[in-house]
Each structure stands twice: as C-alpha cells, then as structure tokens.
Chain A
Amino acid sequence: MISVEGLHKSFGKLKVLNGIDCHVSPREVVVVIGPSGSGKSTFLRCINMLEDPTAGKISIDGVSLLDPKTNINFVRAEVGMVFQRFNLFPHKSALENICLAPLKVKKLSKGDAESLGHSLLKKVGLSDKANVYPDQLSGGQQQRVAIARALAMQPKVMLFDEPTSALDPEMVGEVLAVMKDLAREGMTMVVVTHEMGFAREVGDRVIFMDEGLIVEEGTPEELFLDPRNNRLKAFLSKIL
C-alpha cells in the first residue's frame, strides 16, 4: 500500500531523514515510535507530501508521489491525515468541517455530503455535536471530529501524527478508542505516537526511529519485550 525507499529529507543543512525504507501492506497498522527530533513526524509528513522529500521514492497504491506527472491532490484525497493540534477549521461547525472536502474536492451534492457527515459523526460518537463550532468542543471531541473529517474522503490510508499528544490525559482514551475501531475495520494506518499501550494492543508492527533512521522494527512483542538496540532500550526505559 505504502512503499518508501531511500527517503532523505534535509531542512537546509539539517538532515532529518537519512534513508528510510519502509513498506506498509494493506490493512496493516504500523506504529512509529522514537525520541523527539528523530524524524518521525517528518517521515509521516513526507508520505502525503506536506514536506518535499530531498531524495528517495515514495509510492502509494502503486502511484509514485515524486513523479511530476502525478497530481498530488488526487493522492492526498486518498490519504487521510490527523494532526497533533487537530487543525479543525474554526469558522466551520463540526458537520461543515467534515463536509467541506467532500463538497469541494469530490463534488458531492450537499445532501450526500451531509448524510455522510452525520454518519461519520455517529461513528466517532458525536452525533449531537453536528452544529457545534470547534472552540466549544473539548480537545478529545475536536480530535474525533478531525478523524471523521479525514475519513470523509474515504481514504485508503490514514496517517496519525501524535494524535493524542495535545490532549488532557482523561481525553486520550476516547480518541484511541476511535482509532482502535478503525484498525479493527481494516484501515491501513501509520501512527506516530507515544502511547505504548496502543502500540502493543493495535500495532501489527512497531518501528523505532532515531536520528532519521529506522533503527529497529518488528512486532510489538519483539520490540517491547526483547529490544536489541541500545538506543531503543534507553528510550523504552525512559517512557515505560
């Protein structure tokens, strides 16, 4: 589904990614962990070209992203992204947030978009918040609307960039619950997170990144119970 080969990314002189190779199969849930500054978010943001890779190859569902002939907007429409800071549109209600892209990008009719929006709000447990604006929602509710907004484009892949890091602790659970449901339904997901419980429970594979490289990867059991790499050991001892 996602194939990344030799991905490099530099910001000026600062090298953030130093050659990432990674393949994600359909229906697979890959969890990316690592210390801050290790390039996890940059890696994720390269997958939908929010960052321009410096070198390397990325393809999604067989479509090469770096091919100049590829219309990146079509690719992005099929790759949902959930941000740490939600990034809901503050001038639009929850329902309008969800409907905007289906209306303008997919050109759905207003009726179709709204019924899709309502069903997605129901899915994330916020049916009663359709007409509420983001600033009147809690962080957890905002993030659930953001997930619904991404799902509205019926993506083949969902990317999560530390989706619970900006949340108060008591709201983390409700967001993770929605993500677990998605994983169970067979969504292909790449999740950057510090929630090791989630990684263990839902992840098919865990990737440990440090200094712009994938240092170790494997099943959650392999990584958490039998870490080989010293940096991974040090990282796990700090957060577990």
Chain B
Amino acid sequence: MEVVIKTFPVMLMGAAATLGVTLTSVAFGCIIGLIVGLARLSKKRSIKLAATAYVDFFRGTPLLVQIMIIYFALPLPQYFRDLQTFFVDRGIAPWFIESHMFPVFLAGVVACSLNSGAYIAEIFRAGVQSIERGQVEAARSLGMTAGQAMRYVILPQAFKRVIPPLGNEFIAMLKDTSLLSVIGFAELTRRGQLIVGQTYVALPVWFTVALLYLAMTFTFSRLVDYTERRLKTGD
C-alpha cells in the first residue's frame, strides 16, 4: 500500500500521458476520418479505392504491429527527433510528457491517429449514409452543389448521429494506447510496469493502474451520455 501511495504521483503522470496521447490521436483521427470517410463515398473509383485500402489496412492489422512498423521499421525516428528540436526550442512541447519522450510520443500519435482514422472514417461514412436521401434531393433541388449540400445539410445532421460511436472509439483508443508501452512511451501501463519492476509489488500497483483507466473511461462515457441527451433535445 505504501508503494501505491508513494508512486501514485508517477502513475498520475502516466494517466495524463495516456489521456494526452489519446486526445491528440483521436483529434487527428477525426480529421483523417472525415477526409477518408468522404473519400469512401466518392464517385471517383480511384479515390474510393485508395480510401478503402487505407481502411482495410489499418483495421485489418493489429495496432501493436502498426506501432512496431512506425517506430522500428520505418526510418522515422530521425524526423521525430528533428521535430522534437523544433517544438522544444519553441517551448511548445506538450506539458504531459518529458522532453526526451517526445520522439516516442510522436510515433505513438502517428500510429494511433492513423489507426483511429480508419475506424472513424467508417463511423463518418455510416453517419453520412444514414441521412435520408430526401435531404440531399431537397438541397440539390434548391440549386445547391453537392459540396454545399454535404456541408450545410448532411454533415451537421451526421455529426449528431456519430457522437455515440465516436465516444466508443475514444474509449477503445484510450485503452489501446497501453500498447505504446512496448516502444517505451511512459503512459499509464508503462509506468505501472516500471514501478512493479522496481518494487516487486504487483497486485496493488496493477489494480491502481486499472482503477485509473476505469476512472478515465467512466468519466468520459458519462460525458458522452450527457452530450447525447443535450443534442437530442435540441434536434
């Protein structure tokens, strides 16, 4: 128990890193997902094919393997180090990671963003397709271009519908970032490993780690429930 109390601040740092890398990745994932999701609906066959290949690859291979490829197999660490210098020199590195962790953090964000981008693309695609055909027809019959109909009529309605699945994706990603421990990113699971390795106290430490994950996912799912209810009444 003393071990838990003594190492709790370190675990909290890990939880902050977990949350930070998840938020960043899901944010980028949303941008990628919107683009790829719309590309999946494109009438141009080449665009559609490229988007489908992207989704198939990142959903069809384990995130762990994707992390390995990005961190160990591709010659990216050099660029990550350059970026580190760039950000750290300007004092804009995220507060939740130590500066020497920056390259691993970037590798983690790249891997997780690409991965969640594939899932979010499917969420957006399904959201857009769930809007009744009559909505596009009404918009087009008023003289709107396909782009205007998408932007002013379809997407605003689709966004409301994708909030619950996006919440799921966030929670899944929050837990999946534990895989970043294999490249030594000091998120919550990695901190737990290090503490157990040094103190040989396993059960209380892992239990606390689990509780911290639960605290984050629980808070977040309540937040999603709340937003969902708010949006429903405003429909």
The size bracket of the interface on B is: 10 to 19
- Tell me whether A73 is interfacial, beta carbon within 8 Å: yes
Which residues from 60 to 88 on chain B have a C-beta closer than 8 Å to any C-beta of chain A? Answer: none
Return A60 CB to nearest CB of chain B, in Å.
Answer: 13
Assess whether A224 is interfacial by the CB under 8 Å rule: no
Total interface residues on A, CB under 8 Å, equals 27
- The answer to the question of A153 belonging to the interface, with a C-beta cut-off of 8 Å to chain B, is yes
Q: In the complex, are the beta carbons of A105 and B142 less than 8 A apart?
A: yes
* Among listed A18-26, A79-87, A108-116, interface-contacting one: A79-87
Q: Is the pair B153, A48 in contact by a Cβ cutoff of 8 Å?
A: no
| In the assembled complex, A104 has its CB within 8 A of some CB on chain B | yes
Report A-chain residues with C-beta under 8 Å of the C-beta of B157.
89-91
- The answer to whether B160 touches A105 (Cβ under 8 A) is no
Contact among B132, B142, B145, B148 for A149, CB-based, below 8 A: B142
Question: Once the chains are docked, how many angstroms separate the CA of A104 from the CA of B148?
Answer: 8
Bound state CA distance, A149 and B143, in angstroms? 12
Using Cβ atoms and an 8 Å threshold, which residues of chain B touch A135? 235
Q: How far is the CB of B127 from chain A (nearest CB, A)?
A: 13
Distance A63 CA – B148 CA, assembled complex (angstroms):
23
- A residues in contact with B139, CB < 8 Å: 89, 101
Residue of B137, B143, B160 near A101 (CB, 8 A) is B143
Per a CB cutoff under 8 Å, which of A76, A80, A91 touches B140?
A: A76
B52 to A: closest C-beta gap in Å: 24
Considering residues A73, A74, A88, which has the most beta carbons from chain B within 10 angstroms of its beta carbon?
A: A73
Interface pair B141/A50, CB less than 8 Å apart: yes
* Residues of chain A within 8 A of B235, CB atoms compared: 90-91, 133, 135
Contact of B134 among A85, A101, A104, A150 (CB under 8 A): A85
A100 at the interface (CB under 8 A from B): yes
Which listed residue, B138, B140, B141, touches A89 by the CB 8 Å rule? B138
Whether, in the assembled complex, B135 has its beta carbon less than 8 Å from a beta carbon of chain A, the answer is: yes
A77 CB contact (under 8 Å) in B138, B142, B160: B142
Q: Given A91-B160, A133-B235, does the pair A50, B140 have CB atoms closer than 8 Å?
A: yes
Taken together as a complex, chains A and B put the C-alpha atoms of A76 and B146 apart, in Å, by 13
Looking across the interface, which residue of chain A has its beta carbon closest to that of B148?
A: A104
User: Contact: A105 with B143, CB < 8 Å?
Assistant: yes
Q: List 5 A-B contacts (CB under 8 A).
A: A50-B140, A81-B138, A100-B142, A101-B142, A149-B142
Chain A residues packing against B (C-beta within 8 Å): 48, 50, 73-74, 76-81, 83, 85, 87-91, 100-101, 104-105, 133, 135, 146, 149-150, 153
Known contacts A48-B141, A153-B143; 9 additional CB pairs below 8 A are A76-B143, A77-B143, A80-B142, A87-B135, A87-B137, A90-B235, A91-B235, A101-B143, A150-B141
